[in-house]
Amino acid sequence: MSSSKSGAKGGGKFTHKLYFDPRADQSDTGGYWITDDQLRQKLANLIDTEERIQNASVYSNPLSSWQATNALLYHAFIVMETNDWWWSIEKNTEGITIQRSKNLKSVRDMYQRKKRTTGWTPLTKIRKNETTAGDNTTIKELINYIWRKDYLNDVYHLLDENCQKFAAMVFDRIKSPYNDQVYFDEAADQPRSSANSCYMSVDKVFSEVQRLSASETFTQLEIYKVPISSWNIPDFFVPGFLAFLFRQISGFFSHHYFGIFETDEGTYWSFERLPTRFTIQRARNKDILLKECQRNSRDTLLSKTKLEKSDVAVRQNMNAVLDFIWKKDNMDIFYMPAEYCGTIALRIYDQFKRK
């Protein structure tokens, strides 16, 4: 449970906005109100989003100064430490608040420049409940997670969408960041060091794609198909039972479909759904994307990879494709007969061809 009063601020209607205070320890600075549409870009302009979270803790404080204990009724929030800053993040009846400071007390003991509520007994102080290592999650990846889970549009609800649930989800994301991996190869036509892994979290992919595609605009979109029965699928990304299931499915769905985007910068992006994850590849040599997936041959006979559809693309970039797929987990589905790769490829094609 939570009330905005627990952060020493009066209650109000949920704003669908995030309040960010970049220097909560300085009296001559103020904060920013940021909408969902502005979230990733505006915060990126205000802070070093590549800062890595060293550790994160769940804190709690009472909802009322008259409470004798925090055991049942309390406000929950997260405090994070990076190399240079202390951060807090929390949700209440008005919205989401992120604070940053050089001093722990300015984010742990204060909410929007006012003291957090505490009670009259030793059991109603601000209390640290649980701590985890950051495991190399960056601030930017956490922001991407908040955006794609649509938390700014999840109206506060006392039971279903309260501060405790929000704090638990943020804490779990920092504690276990790699449970939603994507294969992303930013230079599929170039030699790759064995030390550099292409497997990363969805939220890191958002950051990497934003870095690479900001100046690239789609010009052409194509859908290709390759026979599943002749594709020697590597065991490393289709283990055990999934490999068996995939080959059984191939008896019903004989082709794998994938899309290729051409950009005005002479680059090509492939996007496809494999049995266990999405795969995104980028190259200047389009033939590599046609011949290989995850640096393995699609087919020994190139003639079997066929162009299915082609059209002029909308003037967007790969960031828009990621937004379409993962905002509110729109298409973050497991590969099954009812929702196989062709369905996803064609939906992307319909979304990004010029109408």
Quick one: pLDDT at residue 192? 81
Q: What is the pLDDT along the chain (355 residues), one digit of tens a residue?
A: 444 444 544 456 888 999 999 999 998 778 899 999 999 888 888 888 889 999 999 999 998 888 777 777 899 999 999 999 999 999 998 999 999 999 999 999 999 999 999 988 888 899 999 999 987 789 999 999 999 999 999 887 776 778 999 999 999 999 986 667 899 999 999 998 765 789 988 999 999 998 899 899 999 999 998 876 555 544 444 555 555 555 444 444 567 889 999 999 999 999 998 877 889 999 999 999 999 999 988 865 444 788 999 999 999 999 999 999 898 877 655 544 434 667 788 889 999 999 8
Burial profile 172-197: b = 16 or more Cβ within 10 angstroms, e = fewer: ebbeebeebbbbbbbebbeeeeeeee
Q: How far apart are CA 180 and CA 103, in angstroms?
A: 33
Quick one: pLDDT at residue 156? 79
Residue 39 burial (CB count, 10 A)? 20
- Record the tokens describing residue 176, joined without a space: 């276990």
The residues with which 223 forms a beta bridge, in sequence order, are 259, 309
Distances (CA, A) of 224 to 210, 291, 331, 345: 25, 11, 20, 9
Instruction: Single out the residue of 138, 150, 254 nearest to residue 204, CA to CA.
Output: 138
Q: How far apart are CA 52 and CA 50, in angstroms?
A: 6
Quick one: pLDDT at residue 129? 95
Instruction: Single out the residue of 97, 100, 111 nearest to residue 25, CA to CA.
Output: 100
The residues with which 297 forms a beta bridge, in sequence order, are 292
Distances (CA, A) of 169 to 61, 99, 139: 18, 18, 15
Place of tokens 């070093």: 48
Q: How far apart are CA 250 and CA 229, in angstroms?
A: 6
The 8-class DSSP code of residue 190 comes to S
The 8-class DSSP code of residue 258 comes to E
Ordered by start, the domain boundaries in the chain are 4-175, 181-352
